[in-house]
Amino acid sequence: MVFEEVVGIYLAAKSHRSKQRDLYSLKRLQPYFGGRRLVELRRADVRAYVTLRQGEGVSQATIHRELRFFSAAINFVRLEHDRNDLPNPVARLGLGEASGRVRWITRRESDGLIVAASQFARRPHLANFIRLALNTGCRKNELLRLEWSRVDLEKSILWFEPEHTKNAKRRTVPLNEAAVVALRDQRRWLSVNVPRANWVFAVNGDARLTTIQKGFQAACDRAGIEDFRVHDLRHTFASWLVMAGVSLYVVKELLGHSSITVTERYAHLAPHVGRSAVQLLLDV
């Protein structure tokens, strides 16, 4: 089997919650591994790919994501199609763990970003998306695919069923006052412009906003914020909470992380916890 066959079987058979990311990985892997037979691939070939991507200035986390996709495709075909003869040169390659990116902005910067998102805007979607992301920690697609039927403004909660979340787990998200204000503002605009909207970020009829990348980047540029991505709004939410003294376990639940080890990337933002702990020894 060649690269295209293995990846094609995997993509066709799996229900991908991060299909866009998988297709991006495929786009990067294809030029290097395309047309090559898996039985002829060696670990040295994979390491050469890593070296190539590093030379292009790509982050270690991105390279790991691309190779995880390739490895998952091989393992899927091996298991589901009884192809134990297929080698997996990506497995246990010993690349080391990529440290997760934690980029966050200050509250002042966030205010400037929201103002910039409102400038020249025909609708309030981008500014309200930013407000919601900063105050709920929800992932981009969790918000863009949010329906009004899963919004309870009276109880101040959002809820997500397994099919709505990355790790396929049910989650309830509490709303603070800022998030409620953003949702009410969004509903007011829709009541006039898209009166029968089912989606929180509806644009017309049954259509919804599917991407905010360009508008978000333009807002960052106007606000003078560099190296800041949409997903970093989620990092900012978590960082603010940890710096305010909120337990990592509470942050884990709010973010919907499957493991505390993922949330621990924010631990360095709470040095005050360690200082408070050692002070307790003085009372012993």
List residues with catalytic annotation.
Answer: 139, 166, 231, 234, 257, 266
The identity of residue 100, as a single letter, is G
Q: What angle do CA 117, 119, 123 make, to 5 degrees?
A: 75
Residue 15 CA to its chain's centroid (Å): 17
Residues whose CB is less than 8 angstroms from the CB of residue 247 and which lie 6 or more positions away in sequence, other chains included: none
Contact 89, 41 (CB under 8 A): yes
Can you read off the two tokens belonging to residue 241?
């909470």
